[in-house]
Amino acid sequence: MKYLFFLCLLVFTLNGHSTTTQTDEKSLQPPTVLNSQILQNALAASVQITSRAVVNASSAQTLGKVRQGSGVVIGSDGLILTIGYLILETEQIEIRTHQQKTYPAHVVAYDQATGFGLIKPLIPLQGVEPAKLGKLHDQKIDSALLVVSAGDSAFSSPTKLIDVRSFTGYWEYHLDTAMYTSPPVVNHSGAGLFNLKGELIGIGSLFLQDVMPTDNPSSLAGNMFVPVELLEPIFNNMLQNGTGPNSQRAWLGINAVERQGRIQIVRVTPESPAQLAGIVPGQWLLGLNGKPLESLSAFYKQLWAIPINSEPAKLTLFDGKVIYQIPVPIVDRSTNIKKPVGI
């Protein structure tokens, strides 16, 4: 009965939710393949993840010492795909299945470029079938989708694909392709985004106050999901090396935002290359190696193009009174990530 209720809720919610985009009426009608079995499979493949930060983890200041979210089983061996910040610099990882069974797990890989994390239970999972992976390009704007999370606050919620475009994060993070959905869900961390065939197409990353493009006058709260198809080209590398091929890149340790057409530094990570070089919050970032910066995403791409172990990068800064340059060493972020003792 609850599945029939869910299907009715899906149609009602998505038909009643309007945006400035054109609505494809067919996309709002749940196809016959969306049945209770598909929903059950999505719920069964979703697991709760609880992790604890290692001692002196720098990420604990922003992500917390204890983290909880979701993940989705994607491998017959129990391999779980989640969002990486749940497992960054953590240990004592536990997963709990839909059957309320708890298993210890360990980190398999963390990819800085996409933000994906892979973990695996230390003992075989019982009664869990892996989710099938789908393609983002098979989805149209306004397509009806399902968000599924696990744990004490487990839920399955209808949502809709609002847009597909790039995403730039203030923590030295950028995706050329990201998925934006609405209505929003609160328990989004590592939650699975499924199409109406029951295929996993995204992993939950963020809650956003506005998921509409900057040139759209409307404002709409929602979520950002990392497309699962970004995993395919880096999957083997992650399994073999514990990280993706694009993870080894320059890192400064700054948080920055775009304001008034310029880039302002709002936070500096303790003991990071930026802090050791004397950079402080409040300064404006104007250029990199003598080249002016047009946007935060352009800055990241220019920074990541610099080879590791190169000469220090020269940042042009403005402190409100004086424009000057500061050399900052080029450091690989992965070398600064703390790991559990013995790993």
pLDDT value, residue 27:
38
How would you write the pLDDT of the chain (343 residues) with one tens digit per residue?
Answer: 333 334 434 433 444 443 333 333 333 344 334 567 888 899 999 999 999 998 888 888 889 999 999 999 999 999 999 999 999 999 899 999 988 999 999 999 999 999 999 999 999 998 899 999 999 988 999 999 999 999 776 678 999 999 999 999 999 999 999 999 999 998 999 999 999 999 999 999 999 999 999 889 989 999 999 999 999 999 999 999 999 999 989 999 999 999 988 999 999 998 899 999 999 999 999 999 999 999 999 999 999 999 988 999 999 999 999 999 999 999 998 777 877 764 4
Q: Give the closest residue to 237 by CA, choosing from 112, 61, 338.
A: 112
250-336: CATH superfamily: PDZ domain (2.30.42.10)
CA–CA separation, 223 and 179 (whole Å): 8
CA–CA separation, 98 and 102 (whole Å): 10
Task: Output phi, psi for 296, to 5 deg.
Answer: -65, -40
CATH number for the domain whose boundaries are 1-247: 2.40.10.120
pLDDT value, residue 153:
66
Q: Give the closest residue to 156 by CA, choosing from 56, 28, 6.
A: 6
**Domain spans in the chain, listed from the N-terminal domain onward:** 1-247, 250-336
Residue 1: other Cβ atoms inside 10 A: 6
Cα distances (Å, whole numbers) of residue 115 to 121, 225, 275: 20, 10, 24
pLDDT value, residue 255:
96
Would you say the C-alpha torsion 204, 152, 99, 50 has a positive or negative sign?
positive
pTM of the model: 0.88
Q: Give the closest residue to 175 by CA, choosing from 264, 259, 84.
A: 84
